[in-house]
Chain A
Amino acid sequence: AQSVTQLDSQVPVFEEAPVELRCNYSSSVSVYLFWYVQYPNQGLQLLLKYLSGSTLVKGINGFEAEFNKSQTSFHLRKPSVHISDTAEYFCAVSGSGTYKYIFGTGTRLKVLA
């Protein structure tokens, strides 16, 4: 069975500071990994995805994530956050042979002025 863990439910950070949002997964099959962002009262938008190949994946809005197979992690990073990055971020995993996307419980990023 697959699972996703986002240990940090909330992350406050000052504007222009770097941020890392953590995601760990477990799976017995090859995985595809995704990060989504949800702004207030909206649906989820794709930030980036890892399918295969380079372990460093770049996404929209200056975000990037690194796939680490040995640590089963897919942490999201941004070197300098803006107020507009305040949102909830979800890590998700899918895999070959399964129709499901498994989501983490989300991390609320609050960027402070």
Chain B
Amino acid sequence: DVKVTQSSRYLVKRTGEKVFLECVQDMDHENMFWYRQDPGLGLRLIYFSYDVKMKEKGDIPEGYSVSREKKERFSLILESASTNQTSMYLCASSSIGRFDQPQHFGDGTRLSIL
């Protein structure tokens, strides 16, 4: 069964901390995505990667960075966490160049910044 795995389901961090959210997929997908999900706002794209070491900013990249050193792993980094980054974070993957194909999602990380 294909799988996108996010390292933590729940995470609590303090303001100013550097936070790492990890995502691993076993489908050999080229595309990987990080979204933020907030009530009433749906899913908003933070960053997108279409290959190792390649990345593109999404709609809300401010305060975030990403790292893709291996094809199967895509990390989201909060450089200095703030309370307005408390949210649900979803990782997804899909086949390259195939935007007629659906994305596969992880179960999400619910992040609280205190």
Contacts and interface: CB of A to CB of B under 8 A. Distances in A.
Residues of A in contact with B, size category: 20 to 34
A51 B98 CA distance: 11
Contact of A43 (B4, B40, B100, B102): B4
B40 A9 contact: yes
B104 to A, nearest CB: 8
Report whether over half of chain A's contact residues are helix, strand or loop; otherwise say mixed: loop
Contact of B108 (A42, A101, A105): A42
Contacts, number: 57
A6 B42 CA distance: 10
A95 B33 CA distance: 17
Report whether over half of chain B's contact residues are helix, strand or loop; otherwise say mixed: strand
Contact of A100 (B4, B40, B41, B45): B45
A106 B42 contact: yes
A34 B102 contact: yes
Nearest to B91: A43
Given A43-B4, A106-B42, A101 B107 contact: no
Residues of B in contact with A, size category: 20 to 34
Contacts of B103: 44, 101
Contacts of A49: 100, 102
Contacts of A101: 33, 45, 99, 103
A104 B105 contact: no
Contacts of A95: 99
Task: With a 10 A CB-CB cut-off, give which of A6, A34, A44, A105 has the most chain B CB atoms.
Answer: A44
B100 A51 contact: yes
B76 to A, nearest CB: 15
Contact of A90 (B43, B100, B110): B43
B50 interface: yes
A41 interface: yes
Contacts of A103: 35, 42-43
Interface of B: 4, 9, 31, 33, 35, 40-43, 45, 48, 50, 56, 58, 90, 92, 99-100, 102-103, 105-108, 110
